Amino acid sequence: MIRAFTIEQVRAAEDAVRQQVEPGELMQRAAYGLAEVAKARLGSQPADGAGDEDDNGAERVVVLAGSGDNGGDALYAAARLASAGLNVIALLVGSRTHAGGLEQALADGVVPVEWRTGAAPDAAVGALAEASLVLDGIVGIGGKPGLPAHLRDLPDLIAPDAYVIAVDLPSGVDPSGEVGADCLFADETVTFSLLKPCHLLPAAEAACGLLTVVDIGVPEPDSPAVVRYERDDVAASWPVPGPFDDKYSRGVLGVVTGSESYPGAAVLGVTAAVTAGVGMVRYIGPARATDLVLQHVPEIVTGPGRVQAWLLGSGWDGHGGAPELVGEILDGDLPVVLDAGALDLLDDPRSGATLLTPHAGELQRLARRLELDDTTGVSGARAVADELNAHVLLKGAVTVIVPPSHSGAPIVSQTAGPAWLATAGSGDVLAGLIAAVAAGGLDLPIAAALGVLVHGGAAEAANPGGPVRALDVARSAGRVVADLLGAARRDTST
């Protein structure tokens, strides 16, 4: 599992270590690691011809040094790169400069260029246009969203083939990862010991590029703010039947989805649930949808009965033909996944565990219906989660599962698979996967995280590198689960 921590947690953890080491030691560790990564990347980049080397053949490195500690990290790294024979220019872009870092950089041959305000000087424009590698040390975890005013055009000045490494985080991103803003996109972000929320959350993750963690000796705090489940976590948590299990003990899922207008949604969700390994599905829906589901998944049972979890709403154009049953379900204590048309059912918290699965547009409509101020992104999902005492799964290129604030639980952030997964019916499949795992006994937020992970893997397995249809994703889920469980067994045996 990947863990990220709040800015306050990071500061406290670093301060605790600083009290035990020599002054400046943490910065030197960070600068050493940063310089080593930079040298490795320069060694892996092919020479593209004239314009990226000086007259002596040394590749051009441009360091963007801001006012804070990130600027100090960047300048000390610049000194190490210059002492290794590289042609290094430091653009001093902050209102002030880290004195020790600048002194060391000058001593080792780094060429300084001031650009503290206004338009870029010619020397800065020329250096950026000829750069092979750019170190972005403008602002760090103390920064506000958005680039400083005089640097708004900076991204356009950097050579298109330059490799950009962000120091700790890309300048301009919101360190909390919740607010989108103009920023400098990095090919790689080098962070130190602890991940920050911006490295995993949707508003900022795309700007981070490849994420590299340099260990500078700062231990992780106990309680992460954001987590991401990995392949090994599927094997550790996925409900696996034992020799004495039967279809009932493995989990029975009740599904009220589909409609006369959209019967296919029922097929997709039920197929995904059965393929993922639920013990049994009880399906309730209108005649057309029921016939279609039975045609594709004959092992289901139609009609209500005892279940361990419910899935409602996919493909509804009303209440799925069972409004009285839906009312009973919502009044009950069983875990419920509310998808698509069922997102409009709740005005108040229910007693049982609840997961809502909106995409961005559905979240905005839901938040407005509840008369909430925050309607978008992580903050909007949190507002809905708090209002309804539910977990909110906000679907996207990075999918987040946001808990109610009072729970103290971390946000879960999962990359949702290939972009080809943005296709009709994909959400119906995801809802079926999550509900199946919840019926198997997992808590809803864990079921949601594992469902998203398997969903992405199934999309890739359905047609690696190419377009997929939702039904193929649903049919690939079982094979992906088997591969993940098998990989874990192989790792254990070796």
Task: Identify the DSSP state of 195.
Answer: B
Statement: residue 48 has pLDDT above 50: no
Residues of each annotated binding site for AMP: 395-399, 427
103 strand-pairing partners: none
Looking at the structure, tell me whether residues 158 and 265 fall in a common domain.
no
**What range does the domain containing 236 cover?**
231-493
What's the CA gap between 267 and 258, in Å, rounded?
8
Statement: residue 319 has pLDDT above 80: no
Looking at the structure, tell me whether residues 185 and 73 fall in a common domain.
yes
Looking at the structure, tell me whether residues 216 and 282 fall in a common domain.
no
- The answer to which of 12-16, 186-190, 316-320, 479-483 has the lowest mean pLDDT is 316-320
Mean pLDDT computed over 28-38: 97
301 strand-pairing partners: 282
Strand duo 309-312 + 252-256: pairing:
parallel
Q: Which tens digits make up the pLDDT trace of 79-110?
A: 999 999 999 999 999 999 999 999 999 999 99
Looking at the structure, tell me whether residues 91 and 15 fall in a common domain.
yes
Looking at the structure, tell me whether residues 50 and 197 fall in a common domain.
yes
Residues of each annotated binding site for (6S)-NADPHX: 69-73, 140-146, 168, 265, 315, 359, 428
> Domain ends where: 212, 228, 244?
228
Residues of each annotated binding site for K(+): 70, 136, 171
Instruction: Indicate if the alpha-carbon torsion angle 30, 155, 204, 372 is positive or negative.
Output: positive
pTM: 0.92
Mean residue pLDDT of the chain comes to 93
- Nearest alpha-carbon partner for 39 in 3, 80, 6: 80
Q: pLDDT-derived band of residue 44, with 50, 70 and 90 as boundaries?
A: low
Q: What is the CATH number of the domain that holds 285?
A: 3.40.1190.20
Residues of each annotated binding site: 69-73, 136, 140-146, 168, 171, 265, 315, 359, 395-399, 427-428
What's the CA gap between 408 and 406, in Å, rounded?
6
Looking at the structure, tell me whether residues 372 and 298 fall in a common domain.
yes
Angle, CA of 262, 263 and 269, to the nearest 5°: 105
Looking at the structure, tell me whether residues 224 and 273 fall in a common domain.
no
What's the CA gap between 343 and 339, in Å, rounded?
6
Q: Which tens digits make up the pLDDT trace of 428-440?
A: 999 999 999 999 9
For residue 350, what pLDDT is reported? 96
Looking at the structure, tell me whether residues 21 and 151 fall in a common domain.
yes
Q: pLDDT-derived band of residue 321, with 50, 70 and 90 as boundaries?
A: low
Determine the number of helices (DSSP H) and then strands (DSSP E) in the chain.
Answer: 16, 18
Q: What is the DSSP string of 65-121?
A: E-SSHHHHHHHHHHHHHHHTT-EEEEEE-SSS--HHHHHHHHHTTPEEEE--SSSPP
Which position has the higher pLDDT, 489 or 248?
248
Q: Which two tokens stand for residue 165?
A: 């490494």
Overall number of domains in the chain? 2
For residue 417, what pLDDT is reported? 87
Looking at the structure, tell me whether residues 171 and 125 fall in a common domain.
yes
Statement: residue 303 has pLDDT above 90: yes
Looking at the structure, tell me whether residues 362 and 485 fall in a common domain.
yes
Q: pLDDT-derived band of residue 196, with 50, 70 and 90 as boundaries?
A: very high
Looking at the structure, tell me whether residues 235 and 120 fall in a common domain.
no
- The number of C-alpha atoms within 13 Å of 410 and in the hemisphere containing its C-beta is 24
Q: Which two tokens stand for residue 451?
A: 């469902």
